[in-house]
Amino acid sequence: NAGVMQNPRHLVRRRGQEARLRCSPMKGHSHVYWYRQLPEEGLKFMVYLQKENIIDESGMPKERFSAEFPKEGPSILRIQQVVRGDSAAYFCASSPVGPANYGYTFGSGTRLTVV
Amino acid sequence: QKEVEQDPGPLSVPEGAIVSLNCTYSNSAFQYFMWYRQYSRKGPELLMYTYSSGNKEDGRFTAQVDKSSKYISLFIRDSQPSDSATYLCAMSGMGGATNKLIFGTGTLLAVQP
């Protein structure tokens, strides 16, 4: 019974490149959440998706960031034209029903480093 | 003022000690309170979940919520070196379609053998 799977675990990008982070939710989970953890800070909500729908993207930066959760395949967090300030750990979480009042199951994260 | 305040520590205790971790919050709409444990370079792991005020116990862990004071606590009894990690409080329940979690910044705990 695999948990929330994120890949890659580590990603290095040069400034101006694109970063694609993938998240496969737990089996049977159709709700996905993305959080970002900057150094010395707690996790910050970015976006909440259901299959083929963005429910809440209030935490997403207005530019360069986008997310999707297609009918088939993993959820993707895409960052265009990365800058040094995008360096962070990005965590995906999933739940079987939403909104998840009882807490989520998180993946191990993707650590993005922009050089 | 942050919505959720948490002492970042670090907190160092000897093995077997009782550990008290705390968070305060400002939004009275929070209804659900959680504690996560995060080991270095890993994802957060849900430890305890509490709805509204009261206590909840699970093995060596006890979570307390005092909504009147907007204060939550996690107690760890008989602490072990394996408890060394960052502990994050999280809250939700503000209504809307998401009930996104609002996290504290985390307290780094080191249990010395």
Put simply, the answer to whether B106 touches A107 (Cβ < 8 Å) is no
pLDDT at A11: 98
d(CA B38, CA B55): 22
Q: What value, to the nearest 5°, has the Cα angle with vertex B62 and ends B61 and B63? A: 125
**Residues facing residue A37 across a β-bridge:** A43, A89
CA closest to B5 among chain A residues = A42
**Residues facing residue A76 across a β-bridge:** A22, A68
Contacts with A23 from chain B: Cβ below 8 Å: none
A6-51 pLDDT, tens digit per residue, is 999 999 999 999 999 999 999 888 889 999 998 777 899 999 999 8
Put simply, the answer to whether A55 touches B98 (Cβ < 8 Å) is yes
Put simply, the answer to whether A104 touches B46 (Cβ < 8 Å) is yes
Contacts with B51 from chain A: Cβ below 8 Å: 101
B48-107 pLDDT, tens digit per residue, is 988 888 899 999 999 999 999 999 999 999 999 999 999 999 998 766 666 688 999 999
Contacts with A102 from chain B: Cβ below 8 Å: 32, 34, 49
Furthest-apart CA atoms within chain B: distance in Å: 46
Please tell me the number of Cα atoms within 13 Å of B16 on its side-chain side.
Answer: 1
Task: Please list, in sequence order, all residues whose beta carbon lies within 8 angstroms of the beta carbon of residue A17, skipping any fewer than 6 positions away.
Answer: A81, A82
Distances A82 to A14, A18, A34 between C-alpha atoms, Å: 7, 6, 17
A56-76 pLDDT, tens digit per residue, is 999 999 999 999 999 999 999
Measured in degrees and rounded to the nearest 5, phi and psi for residue A86 equal -80, -10
Comparing CB atoms, the residue among A4, A41, A101 nearest residue B92 is A101
As a residue count, chain B comes to 113
Q: Which residue bears the tokens 């530019």? A: A63
B21-41 pLDDT, tens digit per residue, is 999 999 888 888 999 999 998
d(CA A21, CA A111): 10
CA closest to A109 among chain B residues = B43
